[in-house]
Amino acid sequence: MTDTEKTLLQQIRDKEHEFARQIDTARSEADALVAAARTDAEDLLCTAEKAGKTSAEQVYWNERGRTETEIEALKKAAEHERESASRKEEQNLPKAADRIFSYVTMG
């Protein structure tokens, strides 16, 4: 082989080594980008999970407060109904006693 051929072969090998280094560099950069993307994704998932829990707790406490308010309103309505029934009972008790007395005495 002549010097020119060796030089050409050497130039080809040099180019191959240069491309191999570029490929290794690109691979390393891609791996770093993938690792960074995974970290970002994990951070986003954690943030989303925390936000979801916070929202769920807020909905829970809002609904619980609304439910307790409704329960209190129902208790007040029931107490009002009980008092109303008690007053009617007191009003109707003499009439009922008279009817029972009339029925028992047949007269």
Q: What is the pLDDT of residues 43-91, one digit of tens each?
A: 999 999 999 999 999 999 999 999 999 999 999 999 999 999 999 888 8
Nearest CA to 27 among 19, 15, 39, 16? 19
Pairwise CA distance, residues 2 & 8, whole Å: 10
Whether the predicted model's global pTM rises above the 0.85 cut: no
pLDDT band at 36 (very low <50, low <70, confident <90, very high): very high
Which has more pLDDT, 4 or 21? 21
